[in-house]
Amino acid sequence: MALFITGFDRFPEEIKISAGTVKDISVGLPVRATFSPAYGADAGVPVLKVDNRPLTENIDIDLSDSVTLVANESGSAILALGMFGLPGRSISLDVLPEYTLIPWGMTVGVRVETDGVMVLGTGDITTPSGKIPSPSADILRSGDMITAANGHQIANKSQLIDIITSSTGDLQLRVRRREQYFDVSITPHVNETTNERSIGLWIRDDTKGIGTVTYYNPRTNRFAALGHGIVDIDTKQMMSIRSGKIMETDVISVVKGKKGSPGELIGKVREGRILGHVDLNSPYGIFGSMDFSQKNAISNEKVPISLQSKVYVGPATIRSTVDRNNTKDFDIFIESVNKFSNDDTRGMVIRITDPELIRRTNGIVQGMSGSPILQDGKLVGAVTHVFVQEPTRGYGIFIENMLKNDNRN
């Protein structure tokens, strides 16, 4: 597989290769390159060969002609570029291990608990002396996470409410806003309606919905689902989770998608049938470990993955569950492959072509996010979003972007 670069500024920030494969880099410009082992790499086990030379030390080379990279072992290397005697940019070369995964395609119920209590907004309080603005206004913002109150760690909103109502003075809160932690002091007031102390907050500590499991990795007992992160419906922010679970679900009906209105799968979640436990919510999907007692819910069909460099415009299939718990493959067409997208969850544009799926759903509906995409018998990605104005079309994420973001795979 060749990577053709049309200009110096068109080099990607990273190049990914599967172990055991070959990639040719062709530039056609007088670009000088230095290939280097990653810091701390085992010098005795080179991850790459560069024009048949093991990468055990720096290799300087001219990219005017094609250069062949042979991926040996999983790991990383560095490619430093320069032109006309000036330093250019540094590119990460990642060699991914050879993966075989089970493409699942099962619709599941998803419930996650936040890592702390999420602030949705603030509201006025009616006190015995009249209505006053929320004591939290201008101190807390929508999307803030309250992680501790009066020195006690907060796991759920019941704990926070108990501490507020039993407090006798100002409330000391530990808050995380994006990646920053800080402390605030808020004075509660008695709410005339409840006769309890309040700081005028709307809060949430969990969320639930329906989605599709993309793959199960029998080597690591890890699964991935959704192809995108769980975002709070009110704050529009990625939810930082403490724990979660996926549960067996029967699809009992479908609201068909139409122009301007995305459809959805309606499912009956079997709360007692826990299939796995979620431990990571990321922009590239949710990840977790399978419950060993439920492994009989998964087929034994393992398939190799295909990196984005090998995904092409053409026919493919998605694996989804749109009727009870019957998982099926449906025909699609990959319309475009964007290897340089700024949004990794929109690396592919796909179109539903299967008459049966169009008849059942009119295309892609909510709940199908995470449906694995297969091309030539290989797992290439997952469905992520639907075009709201055209439900037969949507986006997909490359499977390698899901894999690299599960740090336990």
Catalytic residues: 228, 354, 369
For 274, the token pair is 């826990």
Rounded CA gap, 245 and 390, in Å? 32
Element housing 280 (H / E): strand 264-282
User: How far apart are alpha carbons 262 and 256 in whole angstroms?
Assistant: 8
Of 281, 11, 227, 2, the closest CA to residue 103 belongs to 227
Nearest residue to 102 (alpha-carbon basis) of 219, 19, 246: 219
Q: How far is CA 141 from the centre of its chain?
A: 25
Give the side-chain half-sphere CA count within 13 A for 150: 16
Side-chain-side CA neighbours of 39 within 13 Å: the count stands at 0
User: Could you tell me which residues come within 8 angstroms of residue 389 by beta carbon, excluding any fewer than 6 positions away?
Assistant: 259, 260
Q: Scan for tokens 């072509």, then name that residue.
A: 353
The 3-state secondary structure of 211-241, one letter per residue: EEEEEEECCCCEEEECCCCCECCCCCCECCE
